Amino acid sequence: MGTYVEIPEKEMRTLFHKWEENTETRGELCFDHPIKNGIVIKCMTSVLDGIARSKGQDAIRLFAVDTVREKGYIKTRRVYRTTNWKDNIIKAYKDIYEQTKTRMIKEGKL
């Protein structure tokens, strides 16, 4: 799986600098990437109050939600905090984005 690494909040913010920070969460650093028609890709970073949770406590999660209907849209993809975490987040984002785009086309939202 890889070696666990502690991810500084600053590095996480740098990676998601083009995303909107979600301030509605309780302490966990979260970012939103709005797509269209209320569909948003979200990242829950597992950084709580400036400190990444300890090993085995939680993973970084990416998923899509429909904010209009207030329900999930694309299931969660977990990214573990290992040495290649940035590449894995980018890969997970691309996967979630493609699934979201495909579903939105099927539903006539894109």
- Type of residue numbered 64: A
Domain that holds residue 101: 9-106
Which position has the higher pLDDT, 47 or 11? 11
- Answer yes or no: is 39 within a domain: yes
- Answer yes or no: is 69 within a domain: yes
The helix, strand and coil proportions of the chain, stated in percent and rounded to the nearest 5, come to 25, 40, 35
- Answer yes or no: is 42 within a domain: yes
- Answer yes or no: is 28 within a domain: yes
- Answer yes or no: is 78 within a domain: yes
- Answer yes or no: is 1 within a domain: no
- pLDDT single digits (tens) 22-76: 987 777 889 999 999 999 999 998 887 666 655 555 689 999 999 999 999 999 9
- Answer yes or no: is 4 within a domain: no
- Answer yes or no: is 49 within a domain: yes
Beta strands in 12-67 (DSSP E): 20-22, 28-36, 39-48, 51-52, 60-66
Longest CA pairwise span in the chain (Å): 42
The total domain count for the chain is 1
The predicted pLDDT at position 81 comes to 86
